[in-house]
């Protein structure tokens, strides 16, 4: 079962193309800093603007660099079921450990449509699959009843819960007894999520503070609630500022300040406003993450 912090990776870009060298170095740094897993091609990786070839290439690079040292959960979701199946097939063939499939966005499927979508992918590809429930981006919200139906299928193993609804982890445990893997998708609610039986966090903040995020979960896992609360409190300003504008705008800029990548991102995303840049830099400095401003 997946536990701990999994980084929802940014995708470094330069001059309109994926910066493969920067991405390789970034993945290596994440592993060295102690994260428990890697997620390429999620929302934080600007997946909506990646071509299919780019999407597959980013997944392949991540798997290659990780080389089995930590699990790789490839983002393969789409609002087209056929496209989600194709991307999930690729992830399996490339050697991913699991796939993360976002709720179908824009189409606004019913609960039955959600069930049939995820069932079709799991029927087509024998790889562990996580439901990515994120109503803020997909508009629709999977009920615990629908999730329980899906959890009965062999390849549906868990959820990335980005609802920010702190009743969900307990309601999900009650609806799905046994080994269903619950991962928080909200850094700011991770401590409360863990306290209700959650297993880990698929994290934006781990892009810029991977060691601190990993230490936070390790403290909780070791039963040191006081230390976990201390680290959670220390990290909260980072969790907050990384959503001062639409993600991944702030985290991409923060990684740039740390010298991990260029500041490039693809339209319709654009650089953060000056006030946001100042806020991001101030938080990084307060956490001791930033010594010198980026050139």
Q: Which of 5, 130, 132, 256 is catalytic?
A: 132
Residue 81 near residue 87, CB atoms below 8 Å: no
Residue 212 near residue 231, CB atoms below 8 Å: yes
- To the query of whether residue 132 is one of the catalytic residues in this protein, the response is yes
Q: Which of 160, 252, 260, 277 is catalytic?
A: 160
Dihedral in degrees, nearest 10, Cα atoms 287, 289, 292, 295: -120
Pairing of strands 13-14, 17-18: antiparallel
- To the query of whether residue 160 is one of the catalytic residues in this protein, the response is yes
Long-range CB contacts for residues 118-124, cutoff 8 Å, separation at least 24: 118/150, 118/153, 118/156, 119/150, 119/153, 120/81, 120/85, 121/81, 121/84, 121/85, 121/88, 122/150, 122/153, 122/154, 122/155, 122/156, 123/153, 124/85, 124/88, 124/89
Residues with active-site annotation: 132, 160
């Amino acid at each position: 079962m997946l536990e701990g912090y999994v980084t929802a990776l940014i995708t470094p870009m330069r001059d309109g193309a994926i910066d493969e060298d920067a991405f390789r170095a970034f993945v290596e740094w994440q592993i060295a800093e102690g994260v428990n897993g890697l997620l390429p091609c999620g929302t934080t990786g600007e997946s909506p603007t990646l071509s299919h070839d780019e999407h597959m290439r980013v997944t392949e690079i991540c798997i290659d660099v990780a080389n089995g040292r930590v699990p790789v959960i490839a983002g393969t979701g789409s609002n087209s079921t056929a496209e989600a199946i194709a991307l999930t097939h690729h992830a399996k063939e490339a050697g991913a450990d699991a796939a993360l499939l976002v709720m179908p966005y824009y189409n606004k499927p019913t609960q039955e449509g959600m069930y049939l979508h995820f069932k079709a992918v799991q029927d087509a590809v024998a790889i562990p699959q996580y439901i990515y429930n994120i109503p803020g981006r997909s508009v629709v919200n999977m009920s615990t009843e629908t999730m329980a139906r899906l959890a009965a299928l062999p390849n549906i193993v868990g959820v990335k819960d980005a609802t920010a609804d702190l009743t969900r982890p307990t309601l999900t445990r009650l609806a799905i007894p046994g080994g269903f893997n619950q991962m928080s998708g909200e850094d700011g609610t991770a401590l409360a999520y863990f306290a209700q039986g959650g297993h880990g966090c698929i994290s934006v903040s781990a892009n810029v503070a991977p060691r601190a995020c990993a230490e936070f979960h390790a403290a909780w896992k070791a039963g040191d609630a006081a230390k976990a609360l201390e680290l959670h409190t220390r990290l909260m300003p980072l969790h907050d500022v990384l959503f001062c504008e639409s993600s991944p705008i702030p985290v991409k800029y923060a990684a740039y300040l740390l010298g991990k990548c260029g500041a490039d991102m693809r339209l319709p995303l654009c650089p953060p406003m000056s006030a946001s840049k100042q806020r991001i830099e101030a938080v990084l400095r307060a956490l001791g993450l930033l010594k010198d401003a980026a050139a």
